[in-house]
Structure 1
């Protein structure tokens, strides 16, 4: 099945392939959000374990799928070889830092708000918080497909698809993490689902933009890969991990993180 997907994506335009891959990651988010039709609440320990798993996948993907290829495809030796990855990583983190400080959003615990003050409803602010998570994820998949279009040897369809699968897996609990709190607040199942799945709609957009940018500006690929990695690590450290520490489920969240890291690392090495 995996080989059939690879063969198909190799025959079509890489930008179109990026759109298909990131649409898949959105679909998995929607699948997670659909749990709201069957359950009104979810045990907090389970949710923290899922969020920990999400963080583990994102950290593993940042290295195995993004930083390592970025360093490998950079020219030169020593500090010269690592410079594009270091610069891109820093810029990605600063980009998310700027969004975090300016875009109003609400944490999953419904207690902490960040960004500029806004009259928007808490539901909108929560969706924006998860949307921040999804921007670098869609971008990461897109730039890999863009690298394939540019003919970069270190970029492969298999690697891009593997990353999309890993991100899709960790998007499942993200969909739950948005829809379930909204349902618990008294929102209808349908509206809770719609808000939950909409948080990942930014991924196809970011994916296509990343693929197009790298296709036209091939030299930026190492920077773009590291940029996506920096943005993802910022999200994990600033948003995901602190969220799992709100209750007394730190061990569960930590084990979830370890599990997510192992799954993504295994996928990347075995399939990528």
Structure 2
């Protein structure tokens, strides 16, 4: 059933875009940005969110990202080239890219606290530091959608659907803490929208670059996969388990995301 839906959606988008993958990428990016926005709208109900809710949202997103890194990016790239080398180089570059961003862009995690250049620590408001942290998380996801659409439209759309699903709780993650800290509603929602727009831009950047430099696509798939793995393992998992509370719920959230992405991918066989 899902396979028929994705095939029909692929054909519809190709017809709508006259076969232009950039237009397809535009719609896919719009979808993930809207899902982030819908999650951000829950900031209106911030007082009703349980303490463990943000951790479960993050863990669900982590489960989706772990599976998507392999099933939508790394393994298809290896199969298409029958070689590990370009994918391995891409993974390394993806890790290096996010490490550099993580090292030099000031941002603040909810639990781990501030990361980035110390001289900028007191020059940005807490609101922007949290938003920058979420944008860093979202960049590999946007890149993953854009590159996978260029590689294979059906795989790309499944990736967009899965990323969109997990962007809903990620929109909650960026907006609710801000709403709680500031006792406001509009500004946190706008910050959540901003993080979704950043991801949309990365979808377009990834699709545009690898449409032009198609020979580099295996490296791009590896790069997106490595970047997602780095963010998940280095940032998200330590963040969700740092509290050492509600570990069963957090773990259940992770495996729910894991199963959702695995199910979506397996339906296309």
- Superposition TM-score, scaled by structure 2 size: 0.92
3-state SS, counterpart of residue 185 of structure 1:
helix
- Quote how far apart the aligned CAs of 1:41 are: 4.9
Moved more, 204-213 or 53-62: 204-213
Take 2:199 and 2:174, find their aligned partners in 1: how far apart are those partners?
Answer: 16
Q: Which of these residues, 7, 10, 14, is aligned with residue 21 of structure 2?
A: 14
Higher helix share: 2
Report if the CA contact (8 A) 1:57-1:264 is conserved.
yes
Q: Which of these residues, 169, 187, 203, is aligned with residue 173 of structure 1?
A: 169
- Quote how far apart the aligned CAs of 1:52 are: 0.8
Take 2:80 and 2:6, find their aligned partners in 1: how far apart are those partners?
Answer: 25
Q: Are 2:20 and 1:23 equivalent residues in the alignment?
A: no
Take 1:3 and 1:146, find their aligned partners in 2: how far apart are those partners?
Answer: 16
Q: Which residue of structure 2 aligns with residue 101 of structure 1? A: 103
Report if the CA contact (8 A) 2:150-2:156 is conserved.
no
Q: Which residue of structure 1 aligns with residue 50 of structure 2? A: 43
Take 2:220 and 2:51, find their aligned partners in 1: how far apart are those partners?
Answer: 36
Q: Are 2:149 and 1:145 equivalent residues in the alignment?
A: yes
- Quote how far apart the aligned CAs of 1:10 are: 2.1
Q: Are 2:260 and 1:263 equivalent residues in the alignment?
A: yes
3-state SS, counterpart of residue 81 of structure 2:
coil
Moved more, 94-103 or 249-258: 249-258
User: How many residues are matched?
Assistant: 258
Q: Are 2:60 and 1:53 equivalent residues in the alignment?
A: yes
Structure 2 residue ranges without an equivalent (≥5): none
Take 1:54 and 1:44, find their aligned partners in 2: how far apart are those partners?
Answer: 17
- Superposition TM-score, scaled by structure 1 size: 0.91
Q: Which residue of structure 2 aligns with residue 250 of structure 1? A: 247
* TM-superposition CA deviations, 1:248-267 (whole Å, max 9, x none): 12222112111111110110
- Quote how far apart the aligned CAs of 1:48 are: 1.4
Take 1:71 and 1:2, find their aligned partners in 2: how far apart are those partners?
Answer: 23
Alignment of 1:80-159 (within 5 A): 81-109=83-111, 112-117=113-118, 118=120, 119-147=123-151, 155=152, 157-159=153-155
Q: Which residue of structure 2 aligns with residue 78 of structure 1? A: none
- Quote how far apart the aligned CAs of 1:108 are: 2.1
3-state SS, counterpart of residue 47 of structure 2:
coil
Moved more, 121-130 or 187-196: 187-196
Structure 1 residue ranges without an equivalent (≥5): 76-80, 148-154
